[in-house]
Amino acid sequence: MAKINKSEQAYLEIRKMIISRQIESGQRLVERTLADRFDVNRADIRQACSKLEGEGLLVSGAKGGFFVISLNPQQSDDLFRARQAIEVGAATLAIKNATAKDIARLEEIVELMYSLAKNSMVEGFYEADLLFHEILVASAQSEKLLKIYKSANFMLTSSTSGKQNPKTLQVDARKHKKIIQALKKRNLSELLKQVSWF
Amino acid sequence: MAKINKSEQAYLEIRKMIISRQIESGQRLVERTLADRFDVNRADIRQACSKLEGEGLLVSGAKGGFFVISLNPQQSDDLFRARQAIEVGAATLAIKNATAKDIARLEEIVELMYSLAKNSMVEGFYEADLLFHEILVASAQSEKLLKIYKSANFMLTSSTSGKQNPKTLQVDARKHKKIIQALKKRNLSELLKQVSWF
DNA sequence: TTACTTCATATGGTTTACCATTTACAGATT
DNA sequence: AATCTGTAAATGGTAAACCATATGAAGTAA
């Protein structure tokens, strides 16, 4: 068993609630309620929330208290660019660092995407798309980078639910296949052309 | 005046101490000492430290307590790759987003680098180099990305003090000039060739 | 001298209580 | 009816105290 203290426990719990969207964007976290719920002290909750704040998942209000992050359009754009940059950088590194296993995993996902596209399963396709890009970033072989990317991804998808058009699913799947091909060929410019969707 | 509470005050103070290397890597932060020093409560210190932990500047020890982050070689490599990816991604975005002001600022720095190189001022050159790359990342026009980059930079430079060889200063300055030229010409592949020093 | 035991101190973890401010609601006043 | 106002509840900020454990020093036995 991992020996975790109360504040860490609270941190994990609250984090889970945020990630799983049990608490919506912009909502206040009331300390006493959480303290009761998780059977920990208010001080532990505050510690947990502070940690989450450092992580960027929470912000503290002007009049005190913690709130789930919610981005205004400008911040959202800013973060979008950051994520874009990370993905491009990751792809570049992936050219050198991607393992055979990574590529196999990517191919697996693309096959899945084709199936989902055929059946117009947009939600599933969206999930697969997310996963594909995460694996691509993971191929750069940097846990830290992946963590950052996931965090950015979460914050963006929480505000702007960029839904796919069912019509373009097939096209998108093909695009992802091209990414893999470029990766296999170690062709950077071709890879970047596919990755940077701007 | 910004109304900041005690824990935020402590956070700022401690952060400054870490950034300015007043506390060295791996060193423990004793809560009572800091609480006395900053005239705040221990709870505030713990909150501040938790926030710093979320930010990645501190880690909590197995037997409790907060310690300034110190990376083992593997973690250092991991983070190095992350920073590399960010810089490459930022450069790619900078091609589209860099403003005339950004470029002017970069040119200013490069001129400074030449002067420093001429006088073999390695320390100053190192600073200028750091600044150059930060401005390059800033040219991607994403505050978030810049923040991430700076954080990675800090953690890396705290462990591995990558000193420059006086002989190569001139060469390096020239390299940075090429980066600017590529940026001006909006030539991605040329830019990446200069940026990715691997 | 060396190694082991013991005890005091340092340090972090946890809990409770109290205070200040904000918020919300109910009642009064126009 | 609309609005103002005062009071009570909600909520966060701050402080102090207590306990458990780890650390290190001192003393003692081999």
The gap between the terminal CA atoms of chain A, to the nearest Å, is: 47
- Tell me what pLDDT residue B1 has: 45
B196-CA/C23-C1' distance, Å: 55
For strand D, which nucleotides have at least one atom less than 7 Å from a protein CB?
10-17, 21-23
- Nearest CA among B158, B139, B161, B155 for reference residue B55: B155
Taking only the tens place, the pLDDT of each residue in A126-181 is 999 999 999 999 999 999 999 999 999 999 976 555 556 777 899 999 999 999 99
Task: Extract the tokens encoding B107.
Answer: 């040119």
Q: Answer for the pair B168, B152: CB distance below 8 angstroms, yes or no.
A: no
Query: Is B28's CB less than 7 Å from nucleic acid strand D?
Result: no
B43-CA/C20-C1' distance, Å: 18
Task: For chain A, positions 138-197, list CB contacts with chain B under 8 A.
Answer: 140-145, 148, 152, 188-189, 192, 196
- Tell me what pLDDT residue B189 has: 85
B192's enclosing H/E stretch is: helix B188-195
d(CA A137, CA A106): 11
- Tell me what pLDDT residue B149 has: 98
Minimum-distance nucleotide, CA of B29 to C1': C11
Of B8, B85, B145, the CB nearest to A140: B85
**A197 CB-contact burial (10 Å; exposed 0-12 / middle 13-18 / buried 19+):** exposed
- Tell me what pLDDT residue A84 has: 95
A47 touches chain B (CB under 8 A): yes
d(CA A41, CA B142): 38
Beta bridge partners of A68: A58
- Mutation site for B-interface testing, chosen from A4, A40, A51 by largest number of B Cβ within 10 Å: A51
d(CA A191, CA A46): 45
Q: Which distant-in-sequence residues (6+ apart) come within 8 Å of A9 by Cβ? A: A38, A40, A44
> What are the strands of the beta sheet with A66-68, ordered from one edge?
A28-29, A66-68, A58-60
Taking only the tens place, the pLDDT of each residue in B20-54 is 999 999 999 999 999 999 999 999 999 999 999 99
A89 touches chain B (CB under 8 A): yes
Which chain A residues are closer than 8 Å to B85 by Cβ? 86, 89-90, 92-93, 140, 142, 145
CA distances to A144, B59, B89, B151 from B155, in Å: 12, 13, 20, 6
A27-CA/D20-C1' distance, Å: 37
- Tell me what pLDDT residue A168 has: 85
pLDDT at A75 over 60: yes
pLDDT-based confidence at B160, cuts 50/70/90?
low
- Tell me what pLDDT residue A180 has: 96
pLDDT at B64 over 60: yes
- Tell me what pLDDT residue B159 has: 59
- Tell me what pLDDT residue B126 has: 92
d(CA B132, CA B129): 5
| Count of Cβ atoms closer than 10 Å to residue A30 Cβ | 12
Taking only the tens place, the pLDDT of each residue in A105-134 is 999 999 999 999 999 999 999 999 999 999
d(CA B133, CA B156): 14
DSSP designation for B121: -
Query: Is A64's CB less than 7 Å from nucleic acid strand D?
Result: yes
B13-CA/D24-C1' distance, Å: 30
Residue bearing the bigger pLDDT, A1 or B75: B75
Beta bridge partners of B66: B29, B60
Closest residue by C-alpha to C1' distance, nucleotide C14? A41
pLDDT at A1 over 60: no
- Tell me what pLDDT residue B163 has: 59
- Write down the residue that tokens 């203290």 correspond to: A5
- Tell me what pLDDT residue B51 has: 98
With helix as H, strand as E and coil as C, how does chain A read? CCCCCHHHHHHHHHHHHHHCCCCCCCCEECHHHHHHHHCCCHHHHHHHHHHHHHHCCEEECCCCCEEECCCCHHHHHHHHHHHHHHHHHHHHHHHHHCCHHHHHHHHHHHHHHHHHHHCCCHHHHHHHHHHHHHHHHHCCCCHHHHHHHHHHHHHHHHHCCCCCCHHHHHHHHHHHHHHHHHHHCCCHHHHHHHHCCC
Q: Answer for the pair B99, A97: CB distance below 8 angstroms, yes or no.
A: no
Which chain B residues are closer than 8 Å to A189 by Cβ? 189
Q: Give the closest-approach CA distance of B93 to chain A in angstroms.
A: 7
Query: Is A31's CB less than 7 Å from nucleic acid strand D?
Result: yes
B30-CA/D29-C1' distance, Å: 36
- Tell me what pLDDT residue B196 has: 73
- Tell me what pLDDT residue A198 has: 52
Using DSSP bridges, classify how beta strands A66-68 and A28-29 pair: parallel, antiparallel or unpaired: antiparallel
d(CA A15, CA A8): 10
Span A49-60, mean pLDDT? 97
- Tell me what pLDDT residue A189 has: 85
A21 touches chain B (CB under 8 A): no
Minimum-distance nucleotide, CA of B4 to C1': D13
